[in-house]
Amino acid sequence: MLLFVGLGNPGAKYAGNRHNVGFMAVEAIAKRHGIGPWRRRFQGVAAEGPIGGERVLLLLPGTYMNESGRAVAEAAHFYKTAPGDISVFHDEIELPPSKVRVKVGGGIAGHNGLRSISAHVGNDYRRVRIGVGHPGVKDMVHAHVLGDFAKSERAWVETLCDVIADNAGLLAKGKDATFQNKVHLAMDAKGFVAPKDAEDK
């Protein structure tokens, strides 16, 4: 069983936050692949179904961001899922808006959701890093990620979540580079182009 985890905070007041783009992406995957219904499991909500010929559990932790690892660890333990079969979709301030990067392992870059997951299951899981941009001042990061996407951003957010959902089968098959490339090309074709000089760090 593969595990696709969307990171975010539960509840209506957080639903439009940049910090919740992981939730948005995984919800789009569920919709695109006809996976459901969502059920209360593993300290959150989960749905199970096939993606790219693989069995996948979609999980949205209900523990709040800082305790995401509790939900992930419970699901991983139940299915005996190795860290390498876990993909975590999350907001990334070090990437420009609409840019996506996939990597396995690495640092947590101050992301409390990743910190919690690494503490519970180790560091060798896949991160699907969804760029939300940096406010430019460190002291403004908290307000930036817990702020809603602006109206002007919603078009690329919805498009990107749909493109991620369209290509989720590549992630399920472990074709990370192909997934990343297809997402970039699709966003480019739709007119959403991230700055070329802003590479991931």
Q: What is the CATH number of the domain that holds 160?
A: 3.40.50.1470
**Quick check: 192 pLDDT over 50?**
yes
Q: Flag whether 197 is in a domain.
A: no
Q: Flag whether 159 is in a domain.
A: yes
> Within 13 Å and on the Cβ side, how many CA atoms surround 133?
16
Which of 11, 15, 19, 23 has the alpha carbon at shortest distance from 145?
Answer: 19
Which of 29, 11, 6, 128 has the alpha carbon at shortest distance from 75?
Answer: 6
Q: Flag whether 200 is in a domain.
A: no
Is the preceding omega at residue 97 within 30 degrees of 0, hence cis?
no
Q: Flag whether 76 is in a domain.
A: yes
Active site residues: 19
**If pLDDT is split at 50, 70 and 90, which confidence band does 194 have?**
low
User: Which residues of 34-96 form beta strands (DSSP E)?
Assistant: 39-41, 44-51, 54-61, 86-92
User: What's the domain count of the chain?
Assistant: 1
Residue-wise pLDDT for 115-134, tens only, equals 999 999 999 999 999 999 99
Q: Flag whether 201 is in a domain.
A: no
Q: Which domain holds residue 144?
A: 2-189
**Quick check: 198 pLDDT over 90?**
no
